[in-house]
Chain A
């Protein structure tokens, strides 16, 4: 099977600060990481490859600084990595992002399956995977927790409100994988050294994809942010209940019964 894994490099959320005066997000000094759910997507793809053979290619859109993270994916077991990188791709919403990623997938034809993490930790919109499938015109199975190949079909368990279902579909298909549905393998030490020294990342610019600049990035986006604010929380009493465990329990019981 030819498997493509879409992978995003995201800032570590807990390090993000908000500048109240300027109403902007402070990214300086914030470390990056491979988006956690995308690691689960990569692990799912590597497992499928282990079981059925084939090739795993990692695909990402972003600046050249993503390179070490794509090499990390290679060290984990991916066969190849492609970075879609161009200034005109910047500032994209989910519409323009999914458009560029879908064009990258088209460049990697033929493929059987595209795997994505269900959401990015920074944007958390969960919209890029179904939107990529929309551009590609292929079926999309979301919130997948288990995936396997049965005959000529892909069989996936997906989580829905109050339960789960099992779906079967003929490839090509896009699956978005649930955060935490598997344990991503550690990078192989030797492979990591090889990836760092010898692996040549394929970089595609907009020249390779051939979009009009107005169709991608900020300009090609359908939505815009008009302002940022910190999430307002209501004022709370913040009364600390002190005393022995019995006293605390008695007081809590009064509050619960009220």
Chain B
């Protein structure tokens, strides 16, 4: 079969913008393929998305399949599963990797059943097993404190969703792969979910920030102070999971197991207790500063500089030191 084997990557886009996590996965896929002497196939679905496919072809994919159809303009789990399953059956890859965004996760779960494939969820690392060449995924569980190394013992392809931010975005190169159209056999009645409204404001992913201020429950529901600190220090802003669960911050700002991993030079973490699901997102941060009123807070075990104190008092002083107006 033409193109059989290799690594297949689902590349997500929304309104014509590529998801960062898809490019990160593409970079890792190329690394794996080079090691195994196989090829990377990317898949881009949407309407008018060929330019995105061309970009992916410059970032490591040997071939990018494009499914272009008005029926694929919006992500719907079922229709996307139909099309990607068709592509995977045509290409017969060994591995199928997907960024663990909301849409990627919804797609992966349905697709695994359609393909009869094993699926490792939200992996924080991928390796190739010595001898067998099988894909090994590091899957965090039990609140992120424990990592299970998993593999797909039955079914092909071996599937994994990858936590955003754990791999690097590949740089564009002069060597572009091929872009091929993939015929879409969907009929309008196959798209049973209709997106009737969408409000999306694209923002830079927290996993790409060089500096970031992260707020936790200790900030109560008022995030104006940590946000001001972010502004005064030229930093991005993120939160721990409970603040998003309470609805005071959007989910795309969540750091940790069910959110993004950071790759910052500096993270200032304010009022976060430091549960394992959170600290697992700090592993790639160069310098961590933690401010917490509890001297025994777990977060201090994961910080380079620790300040025991009331954030409401320390943070305003820090803001004025940095030349920001004191709130």
Measured CB to CB, the closest approach of chain B to A71, in angstroms, equals: 26
Evaluate whether A245 and B313 lie within 8 angstroms (CB atoms) in the complex, with A124-B122, A131-B113 already known.
yes
When C-beta atoms are compared, the residue in chain B nearest to A181 turns out to be: B247
Residues of A within 8 A of B279 (CB): 233
Interface residue A151 (Cβ < 8 Å from any Cβ of B): no
Evaluate whether A139 and B78 lie within 8 angstroms (CB atoms) in the complex, with A231-B147, A231-B280 already known.
yes
> B251, A159: Cβ atoms under 8 Å?
yes
Residues of A within 8 A of B151 (CB): 223-224, 226
The residue among A126, A180, A231, A246 with the most chain B CB atoms within 10 A of its own CB is A231
9-residue interface stretch from A54-62, A115-123, A203-211:
A115-123
9-residue interface stretch from A41-49, A76-84, A163-171, A185-193:
A163-171
Q: Which of A124, A130, A225 contacts B150 (CB 8 A)?
A: A225
> What separation, in Å, do the CA atoms of A228 and B148 have in the docked complex?
4
Residues of A within 8 A of B114 (CB): 134
> A126, B109: Cβ atoms under 8 Å?
yes
Interface residue B40 (Cβ < 8 Å from any Cβ of A): no
> What separation, in Å, do the CA atoms of A258 and B245 have in the docked complex?
34
Interface residue A29 (Cβ < 8 Å from any Cβ of B): no
> A225, B258: Cβ atoms under 8 Å?
no
> A122, B142: Cβ atoms under 8 Å?
yes
> B146, A25: Cβ atoms under 8 Å?
yes
Evaluate whether A143 and B149 lie within 8 angstroms (CB atoms) in the complex, with A169-B193, A238-B306 already known.
no
Q: Which of A126, A128, A234 contacts B283 (CB 8 A)?
A: A234
Q: Which of A121, A131, A226, A255 contacts B110 (CB 8 A)?
A: A131
> A167, B109: Cβ atoms under 8 Å?
no
Residues of B within 8 A of A134 (CB): 81, 109-114
Interface residue A125 (Cβ < 8 Å from any Cβ of B): yes
> B193, A139: Cβ atoms under 8 Å?
yes
Residues of B within 8 A of A133 (CB): 77-78, 109-110
> A227, B148: Cβ atoms under 8 Å?
yes
> What separation, in Å, do the CA atoms of A110 and B19 have in the docked complex?
39
> A236, B301: Cβ atoms under 8 Å?
yes
Measured CB to CB, the closest approach of chain B to A135, in angstroms, equals: 6
> A231, B140: Cβ atoms under 8 Å?
yes
Residues of A within 8 A of B221 (CB): none
Interface residue B121 (Cβ < 8 Å from any Cβ of A): yes
Interface residue A98 (Cβ < 8 Å from any Cβ of B): yes
When C-beta atoms are compared, the residue in chain A nearest to B81 turns out to be: A134
> B103, A130: Cβ atoms under 8 Å?
no
9-residue interface stretch from B31-39, B41-49, B168-176, B199-207:
B199-207
Interface residue B293 (Cβ < 8 Å from any Cβ of A): no
> What separation, in Å, do the CA atoms of A172 and B309 have in the docked complex?
53
> A241, B105: Cβ atoms under 8 Å?
no
B contact set with A: CB distance below 8 Å: 14, 19, 74-78, 81, 101-103, 105-114, 116-122, 136, 139-155, 192-203, 211, 233, 245-247, 250-252, 257-258, 266, 268, 275-277, 279-280, 282-283, 287-289, 300-309, 313-314, 317-318, 320-322
A-B contact pairs, 24 of them (CB 8 A): A16-B142, A95-B119, A98-B109, A121-B143, A124-B144, A131-B109, A133-B77, A134-B114, A160-B75, A160-B102, A161-B14, A162-B250, A164-B200, A165-B74, A165-B200, A166-B195, A168-B193, A173-B193, A223-B118, A226-B151, A245-B309, A252-B321, A253-B318, A256-B322
Other than the given A16-B143, A231-B145, A256-B322, 16 more pairs (CB < 8 A) read: A124-B121, A124-B143, A125-B121, A130-B109, A133-B78, A134-B112, A139-B77, A140-B110, A165-B198, A221-B118, A222-B153, A228-B149, A229-B147, A238-B301, A238-B303, A248-B317
What are the 7 tightest A-B residue pairs by CB atom distance, in nearest-first order? A130-B109, A222-B118, A134-B113, A163-B200, A125-B121, A180-B245, A249-B317
